[in-house]
Amino acid sequence: MKKKVLGSIIFIFILFSVIFISIGVRSSQNITNEQEIKNTVIGALKIYEKIVFPPQYTKSPDIPIPPDVVNKKVKEVTDECYKYFSSKSGWLDNRIEVFKNAVFFEAYTNGGIRTVKDRITDIKFLEINIEGDTAKVVADVYEENKAVLSVLDESKISTVDLEKLNNINVYKTSSGNKEDLVKKKEIEELVKKLPKKTDIVDRSGIIRYYYNLIKENGKWKIISENLTFIPGDNMQN
C-alpha cells in the first residue's frame, strides 16, 4: 500500500515538473519573440532618421546634393528595408518606393524645405499579440523633427511686389484656365527672384503605429502598417 502511495506521489511530482517545464519553455519563447518583434519595429522606425542628409547639406534647402551622395542614401534606406519588411503582399516593394521617394524629396526639394533632424525620443509598446507565426503590435512613437525652410524675406521686398503677392487669388490661379496658368507662371517666376531667408521649424509629436508581422525564414518581418497622429503635436518657429 505504501509503495502504491509513494508511486502515485512520484508520478504526480513528475507530471507537475513536466507541466512547469513546458510553461517555462513557452514563456521563454514568448519573451524571445516579443524582443525580436520589438527589434524589428524599432529598426523599421529608425529608417526615418536615415533619410536625413549630412549637416553640410542641411544648412539650407537650396544647397545642391551631389548625385553620388543621393544614390548612397537611397541604397542605405533600401538595405534597411530588406531587414525589416516582408516581401509578401508587395509590402517590401511598397516601403522601398516610399523611402526612396522620401530621399529624393529631401535632395531635390521644390518646396523650399529640408529636414535637419528626425529623431525618435521614445517608443512605448502598448500591445504585442502573438499567434503562432503572426503578430500584431500597437506602439506610440515620440519624435522630434527639425527642418530648414527657404521663405520670402519681406523686409527686403518692395511694396509693389508685396502688393502683387497679397493680391494673389490662389484658387483662381489653380483653376487650369489658360489665362490663369499664365498668371500662375508669372507669380512663380516672381517668387523665384524675390529675396529669401532661411527659417527653422521645430516639431515634436506622437504617432501611434499599428503593425502586422509574420515570421519569415525564422525572422519577424512587418507585412503591413497604419498610423494615426495623436493630438497635441507641437510646432515652433
Q: What type of residue sits at position 208?
A: R
Question: For position 96, what pLDDT does the model report?
Answer: 97
Return the pLDDT at 218: 92
**What is the structure's pLDDT at 23?**
42
Q: Which regions of the chain are under pLDDT 70? A: 1-28, 110-111, 153, 164-165, 167-177, 180-181, 191, 195, 232-237
Nearest to residue 91, comparing CAs of 128, 40, 53? 40
Domains belonging to the chain, first-starting first, are 2-153+195-236 (3.10.450), 159-193 (no CATH)
Return the H-helix or E-strand segment holding 163: helix 159-166
Positive/negative CA dihedral, 48, 51, 55, 61 = negative
pTM over 0.85: no
Question: Please, are residues 140 and 207 in contact by the beta-carbon 8 Å criterion?
Answer: yes
By residue count, the chain amounts to 237
pLDDT at position 199, please? 81
CA distance 39 to 66: 33
Residue 27, pLDDT score: 58
Residue 213: enclosing H or E segment and its boundaries?
strand 196-216
Q: Hey, how many other C-beta atoms are within 10 angstroms of the C-beta on 147?
A: 19
User: Look-up: residue for cell 533600401?
Assistant: 78
**Measured between alpha carbons, how far is 137 from 38 in angstroms, rounded to an integer?**
9
What is the C-alpha to C-alpha distance for residues 79 and 74, in angstroms, rounded to an integer?
9
